[in-house]
Amino acid sequence: MSIKKIIALDVGQKRVGVAATDDLGYTAQPLTVIDRKPHGLFLERLKSLCQERGTELLVLGLPTRTNGRLGPEAQKVLSLASELRNKLNLDIKTFDERLTTAMAERLFNEAGVNWHKKRDNIDKTAATIILEGYLTSLNAKRTE
């Protein structure tokens, strides 16, 4: 199986954290944060980033509730995934992102990072955690 260049998104109401695989497709790296509004500009920036990186797969974190059900936030992500599939002409997948933002916040709190520096870094780090989880699940499937 060939290595795919993957970008993962932690979709928030105001911002989207972005992470990507390294050139070999082994590790997840935090990239940037893209503002959600205006929506047209968000789509342009994401499309440009995907083209620059030669992205083949876009993974969106799906905010599943702790009981495994999909709430309104998850429905919004699924709607965005459908829109991106049509507008970016990329393979799109969703991946359970339960508690990734909380994990990212805990990492920065433990490191003593102040709130102003944390805000964008939390979004990028949450996207990185989503991508690491996705890559781990792929590797687990390969070894089965």
The CATH number of residue 12's host domain is 3.30.420.140
| Gap between the Cα atoms of 62 and 94, Å rounded | 6
Question: Rounded to an integer, what is the distance from CA 89 to the centroid of its chain?
Answer: 17
**129: which 2 tokens?**
């955690």
Per-residue pLDDT tens for 65-106?
878 788 889 999 999 999 999 999 899 999 988 666 666 667
More confident residue, 111 or 93: 93
**Domain coverage including residue 51:** 6-143
Question: Rounded to an integer, what is the distance from CA 95 to the centroid of its chain?
Answer: 9
How confident is the model at residue 1, as a pLDDT?
47
| Gap between the Cα atoms of 125 and 29, Å rounded | 8
Does any domain span residue 1?
Answer: no
Region of poorest pLDDT, from 5-14, 70-79, 96-105, 129-138: 96-105
Q: Is the pLDDT of residue 23 over 90?
A: no
How confident is the model at residue 4, as a pLDDT?
81
For the segment 1-29, the average pLDDT, to the nearest whole number, is 88
More confident residue, 137 or 118: 137
Helix axes 72-88, 39-53, angle to 10 degrees: 60
How confident is the model at residue 38, as a pLDDT?
96
pTM given for the model: 0.86
Yes or no: say if 57 and 6 are a contact pair by the CB < 8 Å rule: yes
Q: What is the domain count for the chain?
A: 1
Residues 25, 28, 30, 33, Cα dihedral to 10°: 80
